[in-house]
Amino acid sequence: MYSHGSESLIKQAREIQEPELQKFYSRLVKLLQGKELGHETVDSLQRLHLILSATKYTRTLPSELRTRLLSLLSSPVEQLQVLSSAVLREMPPLSAEELNYIQENVGQLNSQTAALLLSKVCRNGTVLLNHITLLSKRLVDWLRYASIVQGGGASSGRFFTGPRSRQPVPIAELDGMVSGDFFTVLCVGQGFTEDQWMNVYSFSMLHHWLLTYHSVSNGNNDRSEVDGSVVSMVSATSSSSRLLPPKERLREKAFQYCQRLIEQSDRKAQKKTDTELQKACLVEAVCILDCVCVEDASLVFRTFPFIKALFGRLSADLSFARVLLPIAQFYLNHGEMAAVDCESVWKLVFGQFPAELFSDPFLAHELLRFLRLNLEKFQLGVPQYTHFFPNLLKFLAWDSPAVVDDFVDLLPSLVTPATAVELLHTLLDLPCLSATLILQLRSTCLPISEPGGRGLLSLDAFRNPSFRGLFLFMLRGEFGILGNTVVPRLSRGLRSRPPCDRRKSTKYLKKKLQFYPKLITPSFSYCFCRVFSCHLLRMCKLHPSLVVDQSHELLEFAGIPGNVYSKEELYTHVVWVLGEYLSVSCDSRCSVSLITSCFETLEAVLFEITSSGTPPGTVCPAPRVITTLMSALAKLASRSHDLIPRVSLFLSKLRTVTRGGSVAWCSDEEDLVAIVTRGEELWSLLKAPSVAQSVLTPSPHITTPQWHRDTNVAMPLQLRALTSLTHPQ
């Protein structure tokens, strides 16, 4: 990074011992006491600056040497002014006495002295009002009345150019146009004058100075002292501004300076580095305007129009995200006073920033810092803050070690009665969210894999429409979206709660049931029936009394022959549930008339299926449906013996019909044989009603044995008995 010679000098400066350093201090004091300060003094001051700046530890200079350095600030030799100012900046903050010495003994406050005083005042804990007044005057001069021509390095570019023919060249804007207003940090040229450099330096210190000045002099009214600083001829035109006290005049000039910077930022820069400079200056300008408006609330109404215009211009370009954060801070501090709608600002900050820029570590740090510093304001005045916690957690999912401390402070503020449950589940899903964010980035960088290619399976799944709902839910921006995340209008409808009484609810429910089959797709209907049928079996197993409670609805569904063809899976499970749980052993309310009604309903459906062909456009019913109907009829008949002859008659007819060959309701010969075999087994069981009841409707102690608790029938006892029989002693 440095040349070998430079590294050697820096190493010597860092390793110098204290005795040698004290000797050097004494020699330098003697040099400064002389009348003539020649090259040896300049070399010694340069070496002292190197020694102080080369180490991170603060060194303490002797008091006599500090006094001599302070006196050099008023030296007529500019090089000595620069060196003494640079050395004093590397020292601890000046005391109040030293600051007073500068003000009282330095006749004319030159640039180097003022720069030193400005830097020390901002870091010093004791700030005097006369320091504030003095520096406010000089800051106004540097910020607003710097030269508008280029420095000594500029030339007209002609062939015959000499000292007499050289004309002053005006400063230019970043787009190359000649500047028509006062000089700012966004003006360019081939060279700069001293007051232009002080303009840049003043702008860099202005925000810190205003914060310090506001904290120290708040409440001190300084309208008695009118500004008497020496300014250029341009200042004579602004007489009303000059009548203000120095502090208020500085606020006014800072406002004008930042307003001009915002106007200059709209120009298209010719260099990429200048574009980055524009962004940095915008951040600083908005922060200064925010500080100025905090001090003087009357400036809020003058500032908001071009802050609002700046937000409208930059909000569409996320590359200006770090500029938009100070704008959001301005809206947060002054939006209520100006009666401005901030909804679009919070949607951008809490919505788009985390969703699209979660991988930017600098933005993550600044946004989380912005939230921590304004946590109380967000909790009181910005309800959208807690709504966007799924978006904010993307920073934690992407780079947990770097931001975990921030979220330790932020998470308690995100917990509300409405968000607590979903926030817990989202925290548990953080590993899944991390993987989803990686896939989201890869999907934008990697090309879509060709069929048969060696693309990432996870990336293909991310692009698969079948999994879109899952990934959209993981990448959701707001809480409460637990339904269809693909259709925002549907999700808003699910979250709405219209007032409705019981009569209207019944009316709307009937309408929904009427149009429900027309709204859903066939594939969804099939999946719904399959899943619902599985849960139907589980519910009835846990609560068998549900079959008696809902017997009317179940029989109505089972009595429609068309359901055999359109809802085969669900129909099979409903028939099995009726045959299995419609029993006195499951519910004492189950009467003989209910069993007979169910038997007649299922008998009619089975007779219609086996006595006629299949309807047009449908296929033959599955053998499982027919065998389930036969088994259900046999089970019901075993519980009401009067029904056994009717079942036996049907089974015997079925056996007779199938002897003639193929039938219209079964196209496969093996399936037909299986159906007939099942019918013969049931017919044989029903010949002995007591046996049929034990087999088809077993008692609970048979279906749920407790052999491990009964020592008389326990399996180990039976094994020991068999062992003793097969292996006699």
Higher per-residue confidence, 126 vs 394: 394
Provide the sign of the torsion angle of the four alpha carbons 216, 217, 220, 225, taken in this order. Answer: positive
Give the C-alpha separation, 621 to 569, whole Å.
11
Higher per-residue confidence, 299 vs 213: 299
Higher per-residue confidence, 352 vs 155: 352
Residues 372/410, Cβ–Cβ less than 8 Å:
yes
Q: Write down the pLDDT at residue 703.
A: 60
Chain position carrying tokens 């030269």: 147
Higher per-residue confidence, 536 vs 481: 536
Give the C-alpha separation, 86 to 547, whole Å.
93
> pLDDT band for position 261 (50/70/90)?
very high
Q: Write down the pLDDT at residue 131.
A: 63
Residues 163/259, Cβ–Cβ less than 8 Å:
no
What's the chain's average pLDDT? 77
Higher per-residue confidence, 413 vs 500: 413
Give the C-alpha separation, 362 to 379, whole Å.
24
Give the C-alpha separation, 437 to 358, whole Å.
9
Chain position carrying tokens 């006599």: 64
Least confident range of 23-32, 105-114, 181-190? 105-114
Q: Which of 190, 211, 185 is nearest to 280 (CA)?
A: 185
pLDDT tens-place string over residues 338-365: 888 888 999 999 988 998 898 899 999 9
Query: In b/e form, how buried is each residue of 292-326, taking b as 16+ CB within 10 angstroms?
Result: bbebeeebbeebbeebbebbeebbeeeebbbbbbb
Q: Write down the pLDDT at residue 453.
A: 44
- Residues 6 or more apart from 17 whose CB is under 8 A from it? none
Q: Write down the pLDDT at residue 158.
A: 44
Chain position carrying tokens 């320091």: 131
Least confident range of 310-324, 468-482, 590-604? 468-482
Structure tokens at 119: 């830097």
**Which phi and psi angles does 172 have, rounded to 5°?**
-125, 160
Give the C-alpha separation, 20 to 34, whole Å.
22
Residues 259/184, Cβ–Cβ less than 8 Å:
no
Higher per-residue confidence, 195 vs 394: 394
Least confident range of 403-412, 479-488, 563-572? 479-488
Local structure of residue 688 (DSSP, 8 states):
S
Give the C-alpha separation, 698 to 700, whole Å.
7
Residues 631/638, Cβ–Cβ less than 8 Å:
no
Q: Is the pLDDT of residue 189 over 80?
A: yes
Q: Write down the pLDDT at residue 234.
A: 36
pLDDT tens-place string over residues 84-100: 777 777 766 666 556 56
∠ at Cα 94 (91, 95), nearest 5°? Answer: 140
In the Cβ-directed half-sphere of 243, how many Cα atoms lie within 13 Å?
4
Q: Write down the pLDDT at residue 236.
A: 36
Q: Write down the pLDDT at residue 709.
A: 54
Q: Which of 229, 222, 223, 217 is nearest to 139 (CA)?
A: 229
Per DSSP, the residues of 91-140 read SSPPPHHHHHHHHHH-SS--HHHHHHHHHHHHH-S---HHHHHHHHHHHH
> pLDDT band for position 452 (50/70/90)?
very low
Q: Write down the pLDDT at residue 598.
A: 92
Helix axes 389-398, 361-373, angle to 10 degrees: 130
Structure tokens at 630: 């036969």
Q: Which of 512, 573, 496, 562 is nearest to 537 (CA)?
A: 573
∠ at Cα 276 (274, 281), nearest 5°? Answer: 90
Provide the sign of the torsion angle of the four alpha carbons 161, 167, 168, 170, taken in this order. Answer: negative
Q: Is the pLDDT of residue 326 over 90?
A: yes
In the Cβ-directed half-sphere of 542, how many Cα atoms lie within 13 Å?
5
Local structure of residue 197 (DSSP, 8 states):
H
Q: Give the Cβ contact number of residue 398 at 10 Å.
A: 21
Q: Write down the pLDDT at residue 94.
A: 61
Give the C-alpha separation, 627 to 635, whole Å.
12
Higher per-residue confidence, 144 vs 726: 144
Whole-number Cα distances in Å, 227 to 121, 141, 620: 20, 11, 102
Residues 262/326, Cβ–Cβ less than 8 Å:
no
Q: Is the pLDDT of residue 160 over 50?
A: no
Higher per-residue confidence, 5 vs 486: 5
Q: Give the Cβ contact number of residue 168 at 10 Å.
A: 11
**Which phi and psi angles does 3 have, rounded to 5°?**
-70, 165
> pLDDT band for position 150 (50/70/90)?
confident
Per DSSP, the residues of 356-424 read HHTT-HHHHHHHHHHHHHTHHHHHHH-THHHHTHHHHHHHHHH-HHHHHHHHHHHHHHH--TTTHHHHH
pLDDT tens-place string over residues 680-710: 888 888 888 777 777 787 766 556 655 555 5
Q: Which of 204, 243, 206, 210 is nearest to 224 (CA)?
A: 243
Q: Is the pLDDT of residue 487 over 70?
A: no
* Span 579-604, average pLDDT: 88
**Which phi and psi angles does 162 have, rounded to 5°?**
-140, -175
Q: Is the pLDDT of residue 289 over 60?
A: yes
* Span 645-669, average pLDDT: 79
Question: pLDDT exceeding 90 applies to what percent of the chain?
Answer: 11
Residues 391/350, Cβ–Cβ less than 8 Å:
yes
Give the C-alpha separation, 163 to 161, whole Å.
7
pLDDT tens-place string over residues 223-250: 434 443 433 333 333 444 556 777 888 8
Chain position carrying tokens 């100006």: 338
* Span 4-32, average pLDDT: 77
Q: Write down the pLDDT at residue 310.
A: 92
∠ at Cα 474 (468, 478), nearest 5°? Answer: 115
Q: Which of 204, 341, 354, 331 is nearest to 277 (CA)?
A: 204
Q: Write down the pLDDT at residue 324.
A: 93
Q: Is the pLDDT of residue 60 over 50?
A: yes
Give the C-alpha separation, 252 to 195, whole Å.
20
Structure tokens at 490: 């549907």
Q: Which of 441, 431, 439 is nearest to 458 (CA)?
A: 439
Q: Write down the pLDDT at residue 686.
A: 85
pTM of the model: 0.56
Residues 146/197, Cβ–Cβ less than 8 Å:
no
Give the C-alpha separation, 154 to 190, whole Å.
5
Higher per-residue confidence, 715 vs 198: 198
Q: Write down the pLDDT at residue 229.
A: 41
* Span 114-142, average pLDDT: 65
* Span 444-466, average pLDDT: 62
Q: Which of 414, 408, 469 is nearest to 436 (CA)?
A: 469
Give the C-alpha separation, 32 to 54, whole Å.
23
Local structure of residue 226 (DSSP, 8 states):
P
pLDDT tens-place string over residues 602-618: 898 888 888 877 777 77
∠ at Cα 663 (659, 665), nearest 5°? Answer: 135
Residues 135/181, Cβ–Cβ less than 8 Å:
no
Q: Write down the pLDDT at residue 159.
A: 39
